């Protein structure tokens, strides 16, 4: 072995990870991601809009990515393992958000001309949060609008999952990154190799997106919704399947016909299910898998209960009646529970109990293995069973009660991880709300405790809208730069399920 190679291995031993290898793999992912700029470029040409901002952004991202990839090839000390995987995932999302913000800056769009605003919008896109600093969406170029929604669609299933489907190098360490992208106590395995799993899920994701686009185009062209253009159909479908929430109009989906809103609500429900479970149900025609899955049943139950509670409140207050009341309650409960963030009315003005219920739904989330953020249904399920076991063992200390999920025992290490996640999630949410309240105290935005709580919950849970100025029909534009950076950080941490980011802050991660 040469002295140079020995020195590299010794350096890795001191550092604890293969930093060059992790940077190289991150660069490769960024280089592949940069090709996505060709789509809005083509749209810009079609609409006679400037296309060079997208090509320039793609060239910059591709150049940076290839440079990092070359560094990795020259200085990497071995295969990528799970420790490097955490760094790859975290860095990829940061660089993806910066890449998404570049076209906004280069286009000269006044609403996104500040770097912090462009980065906020880019982070919101790739984390499928849907929070925006744009106050007049309809004034944006069509190519910019499509880029916002395309960034959500790419982030929905996950950049890393896309890479697992096409990059053979991710065979080693790939499972850890896959679990970070489709998180939960377990990842349902559909094939022996993780790349096959990722490829099949992406095909299902693309297929459902195309079905939704087709359904919306039919609604628009048949006259059932005269306000729904083909561009609106494509744009809103690209935001629905990743549970993102970027809309093509200023007031979200309020201006579209009820049939459009019902279709979008139905696909939000579908997208909130575990995609591995969806694959078995829709592709393998095993519909019983949905009925047997305990998380899916609890997901449907909580969604129904939340909708009923909101319906009773708005019906009793005389805000809506009949079909409109059912649609408003179901749509808004689904949108917030799945973390989509679409709105068909300004629900911030609804009765206090219904608003509180919807804020509570932000903490529920949808199924593990879906593009949704927040805590996820399966964790709530396991925590509830843990609490029930503790109560039983308080009375009968000698009792041994295993926790089961879908009939299978869950090991204690997984249960500890679930509890740790919930505690950390609540802690980060509280810190985030506190930081936003402190910034508002010395800033120009009047932000009450409810608005601070909603903003922290909406960004950490990747839901999007909050209350007050950042409500469903508002934007985060009035917040100062430091508050936007805090919320961008919350989006990043929340989308990666806390641990891949937080583990980087520990000293042991960087040491052997």
> Which structural domain, as residue segments, surrounds residue 506?
412-510
Q: How many domains does the chain have?
A: 1
Residue length, the chain? 512
**Percentage of residues in the chain having pLDDT higher than 90:** 51
pTM: 0.89
Whether residue 502 is contained in a domain is answered as yes
Whether residue 126 is contained in a domain is answered as no
375: which 2 tokens?
Answer: 């805590």
Whether residue 438 is contained in a domain is answered as yes
Radius of gyration of the chain (CA): 23
Up-side HSE of residue 228: CA atoms within 13 Å toward CB?
29
Residue 498's alpha-carbon distances to 151, 273, 374, 423, in angstroms, are 21, 21, 10, 11
- Reported as a single tens digit per residue, the pLDDT across 345-380 is 998 888 888 888 888 888 888 888 888 888 889 899
Whether residue 465 is contained in a domain is answered as yes
Whether residue 76 is contained in a domain is answered as no
d(CA 389, CA 27): 47
**pLDDT confidence bin for 53, thresholds 50/70/90:** very high
- Reported as a single tens digit per residue, the pLDDT across 72-93 is 877 766 666 777 888 888 899 9
- Specify the pLDDT at position 449: 81
Whether residue 91 is contained in a domain is answered as no
Whether residue 127 is contained in a domain is answered as no
Give the highest mean pLDDT range of 165-174, 191-200, 410-419.
410-419
d(CA 273, CA 289): 12
Question: What is the DSSP secondary-structure string of 433-490?
Answer: HHHHHHHHHHSSS---HHHHHHHHHHHHTT----SGGGSTTS-STTS-HHHHHHHHHH
Whether residue 506 is contained in a domain is answered as yes
């Amino acid at each position: 072995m040469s002295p140079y190679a020995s020195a590299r291995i010794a350096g890795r031993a001191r550092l604890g990870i293969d930093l060059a290898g992790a940077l190289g793999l991150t660069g490769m992912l960024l280089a592949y991601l940069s090709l996505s700029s060709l789509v809005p470029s083509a749209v810009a040409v079609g609409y006679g809009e400037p296309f060079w901002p997208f090509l320039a952004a793609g060239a910059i991202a591709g150049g940076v990515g290839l440079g990092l990839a070359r560094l990795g090839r020259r200085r990497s000390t071995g295969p990528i393992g799970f420790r490097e995987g955490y760094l790859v995932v975290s860095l990829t999302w940061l660089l993806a958000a910066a890449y998404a913000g570049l076209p906004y800056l280069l286009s000269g769009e006044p609403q996104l001309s500040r770097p912090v605003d462009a980065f906020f919008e880019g982070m919101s896109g790739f984390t499928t949060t849907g929070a925006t600093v744009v106050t007049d969406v309809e004034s944006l170029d069509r190519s910019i609008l499509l880029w916002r929604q395309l960034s959500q669609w790419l982030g929905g299933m996950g950049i890393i999952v896309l890479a697992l489907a096409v990059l053979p190098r991710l065979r080693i360490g790939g499972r850890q990154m896959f679990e970070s992208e489709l998180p939960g106590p377990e990842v349902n395995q559909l094939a022996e190799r993780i790349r096959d799993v990722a490829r099949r899920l992406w095909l299902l994701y693309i297929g459902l997106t195309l079905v939704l686009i087709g359904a919306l185009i039919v609604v628009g062209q048949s006259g059932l919704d005269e306000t729904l253009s083909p561009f609106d159909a494509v744009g809103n479908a690209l935001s629905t399947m990743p549970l993102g929430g970027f809309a093509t109009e200023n007031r979200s989906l309020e201006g579209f016909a009820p049939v459009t809103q019902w279709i979008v609500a139905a696909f939000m429900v579908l997208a909130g299910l575990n995609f591995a479970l969806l694959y078995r149900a829709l592709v393998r025609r095993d519909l019983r898998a949905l009925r047997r899955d305990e998380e899916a049943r609890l997901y449907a139950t909580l969604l129904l209960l939340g909708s009923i509670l909101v319906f009773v409140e708005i019906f009793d207050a005389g805000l809506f009646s009949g079909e409109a009341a059912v649609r408003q309650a179901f749509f808004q409960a689904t949108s917030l529970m799945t973390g989509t963030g679409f709105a068909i009315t300004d629900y911030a003005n609804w009765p206090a109990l219904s608003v509180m219920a919807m804020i509570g739904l932000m903490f529920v989330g949808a199924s593990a293995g879906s593009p949704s953020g927040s805590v996820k249904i399966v964790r709530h399920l396991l925590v509830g069973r843990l609490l029930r076991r503790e109560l039983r063992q308080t009375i009968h200390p000698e009792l041994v009660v295993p926790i089961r999920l879908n009939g299978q025992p869950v090991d204690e290490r997984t249960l500890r991880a679930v509890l740790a996640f919930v505690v950390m999630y609540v802690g980060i949410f509280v810190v985030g709300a506190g930081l936003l309240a402190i910034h508002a105290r010395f800033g120009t935005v009047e932000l009450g405790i409810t608005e601070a709580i909603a903003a922290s919950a909406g960004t950490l849970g990747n839901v999007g809208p909050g209350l007050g100025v950042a409500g469903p029909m508002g934007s985060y534009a009035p917040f100062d730069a430091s508050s936007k950076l805090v919320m961008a950080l919350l989006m990043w941490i929340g989308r990666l399920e806390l641990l891949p980011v937080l583990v980087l802050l520990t000293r042991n991660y960087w040491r052997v």
